[in-house]
Structure 1
Amino acid sequence: MGPKIKFRKQKKYRSDVIATAQASGLILQFWNALLVGDDLTVISIVDDPEYAYLLDAIYDTSNIEEWKNFRFNYRGLRLWSLTYEQELTTPLHITAGRGFTECLQHLLMRGARVDLAPGGTTALHEACEECQPECVKLLLQHGANPNATNEDGQMPLHVCTELDSLECAKHLLAFGALINGQSLDDNDTPLHVAARHSLPDHMELYLRHGAALNLQNEEGNTALNAACSKPQDCASLERYSRVCHMLVSAGADIHISDADKQTPLHMACKNANPDVVDLLLKYKALVNEMDYGGDAPMHNILKAVAYKTDHEPERIVQALLNYGSIRVWPGALPKVLKYCCTSPRTIEVLFNAYDRLKITEAWVESVPPEVFQKHREFYESLFALMQTPRSLQHLARHRLRTFLEGRLHNVIPKLGLPTFLKNYLMLAFRDYMH
């Protein structure tokens, strides 16, 4: 009796192993077909009633090496992983994210659940993130929820963060996506996202569909604040400038500050975008507004000069001074020289806002030898003022600028003066001090 039972158990075990091995091989074949968009293989497998359940199979890909020796759970249709953090996906997610529209269509026509989100995100989110507009359209046509939220509380429009996702955004709006829908965690709208990622075409699309310009997110930022506060490299300055021009032209409020009382002008100065600073000043941004840290826009740009020399920070300092910005306390000028010396034009325009400079040997020591050698002509002209007073021409300029404080940008262009003299009064760069 004992051996008989043992035999039966052994026989049952062998049949289970064979069945599992066969199923495992077919499941791997199905997986590989999804990865390469082999729609014929996908159809041949899911059309078999025995394997129709694979339409909504859930795969854990957190450790792809475990695919070679995986254990499959037939009830959950899930690969078991030894890792704590699972990365779950489905056939719809795989095909939608890779742009395999034919495979995706076959799966949807056979009843795959369009809003299944085992890993916290739907296939529609996946298609939008990967900029697959045809897949987005197909999912929406089969009933995908355009306002479903993922595990981060974002709707599909919130994950349209690339230039190539524009068509995806168009399809979402056509199928009822909320133009002012806010993410659950950050209260971002699609306009915040487009502004933060400098997407001018998305911006135009959203504004055309009635996006609210001045809605504030969790941090108190409007879309304009979001655009100005995003760190920007030289290559993206022009795009951010376009986005800000669009927002301001559409009526965005340039005076709304965030939770730290930082206005768009504070942020544009911190990120050293001279075109945006010019725009905001033109629309009457408050040049001496203080944030909670006591910093005005001038403080922000001077702190950024050393890291943003390629952004032409001198243009921002010049614009701020011409619109009536506060100046640095004269006793702090040596410190400013030390930290901003790699941008001699910034030093020039800032120091030309004073009628006299009390230059000492400490100033000379503030400029590293290699910086001095690189900009030798300028620093020689600056340090020569240690023994020589400022020119009468400069003193006359300073007197007139003091008289027109805060009105320079309005008055000087209207004066019947030669262009070179107007430029001189507006602190045009000459690359030396006199």
Structure 2
Amino acid sequence: MRPREKLCTAARDGSLEDVIKILDSGGNINWKGSNGLTPLQEASKAGQLEVVSLLLNHNAEFEQKGATSLHLACEGGNIKVAELLIEHGAVIDQPDQSQKGSTPIFKAVENNHIEVVKLLLRNKAKFNVRNNKKETPLMIATKKGYKDIEDLLIKMHSLTQKDRAKPQKSDSKKSGGRRVMGSSGKIARELAISVIAETI
């Protein structure tokens, strides 16, 4: 087995010592295996939190094309891995390069991982986005009969519509002769989103 395959296999299997050994012997942290996945993608897909942490702390690159590590973590319901990836700057609304063009929230919804959906929402993932088939996460949840996720997304949509319907208030302060719009509405909305995501 070639070193790159050994590295990707070790990452997928959670063999932390083997990953370290291969990297120390000159292995490229961003090598791709025969299936086109990097060690970070393999570890994220398999839910290998320690390996993911090691790779991120050694500056493994996030993918620019295809299903990203965050897509794969969300698809597998690996919430701790997804959380770590987000903390390290993974693009939360990046579409994949498949025919569907799905963002990570689609992967979480499609596989009925409500806790991952909540995590993404708390981190401001767009929930009314459409994929290349013109589907929204809510449409997919409804079609698959995932009632808890459906209820969550309906509440989020309802909150958004109410927020849009309210007239914007401005602060009394002025800047350059113009009123400065207050941020209290935005803050309240973000807090409400966080509360909804936590309680459902």
Aligned residue number for residue 108 of structure 1: 23
Deviations 1:89-140 (A, max 9, x none): x121111100111221222233311111142111111111211111111111
Q: Larger RCO: Structure 1 or Structure 2 (Cα < 8 Å, ≥ 6 residues apart)?
A: 2
User: Of the candidates 12, 34, 38, which is equivalent to residue 97 of structure 1?
Assistant: 12
Q: How does 1:11-30 map to 2 (within 5 A)?
A: none
- Give the TM-score normalised by the residue count of structure 1: 0.34
Is 1:167–2:80 an aligned residue pair? yes
Native 8 Å contact 2:70 2:85 kept in 1: yes
User: Of the candidates 136, 161, 168, which is equivalent to residue 222 of structure 1?
Assistant: 136
Offset at 1:245?
1.5
- The CA RMSD measured in Å over matched residues stands at 1.9
Native 8 Å contact 1:213 1:252 kept in 2: no
Aligned residue number for residue 177 of structure 2: none
Offset at 1:249?
1.4
Aligned residue number for residue 97 of structure 2: 184
Q: Which runs of 5+ in 1 are unaligned?
A: 1-30, 32-53, 59-89, 231-236, 254-434
Offset at 1:211?
0.4
Counterpart code for 1:115: N
Say if 1:246 and 1:147 are closer, same or farther in 2 by CA, change over 3 A.
Answer: farther
1-side partners of 2:129 and 2:103: how far apart? 8
Structure having the higher Rg:
1
Counterpart code for 1:139: L
Deviations 1:377-403 (A, max 9, x none): xxxxxxxxxxxxxxxxxxxxxxxxxxx
1-side partners of 2:113 and 2:52: how far apart? 19
1-side partners of 2:46 and 2:130: how far apart? 28
Aligned residue number for residue 202 of structure 1: 116
Say if 1:252 and 1:193 are closer, same or farther in 2 by CA, change over 3 A.
Answer: farther
User: Of the candidates 127, 140, 158, which is equivalent to residue 56 of structure 2?
Assistant: 140
Q: Which runs of 5+ in 2 are unaligned?
A: 160-200
1-side partners of 2:137 and 2:158: how far apart? 8
Native 8 Å contact 1:192 1:223 kept in 2: yes
Aligned residue number for residue 261 of structure 1: none
Native 8 Å contact 2:8 2:33 kept in 1: no
2-side partners of 1:168 and 1:225: how far apart? 26
Deviations 1:8-46 (A, max 9, x none): xxxxxxxxxxxxxxxxxxxxxxx6xxxxxxxxxxxxxxx
Offset at 1:252?
6.6
Native 8 Å contact 1:133 1:167 kept in 2: yes
Counterpart code for 2:123: H
Offset at 1:148?
4.1
Percent identity of paired positions between Structure 1 and Structure 2:
27
Aligned residue number for residue 174 of structure 2: none
Native 8 Å contact 1:108 1:142 kept in 2: no
Say if 1:226 and 1:173 are closer, same or farther in 2 by CA, change over 3 A.
Answer: same
1-side partners of 2:147 and 2:46: how far apart? 26
Native 8 Å contact 1:147 1:178 kept in 2: no
Name the SS for the 1:225 alignment partner. Answer: helix
Aligned residue number for residue 124 of structure 1: 40
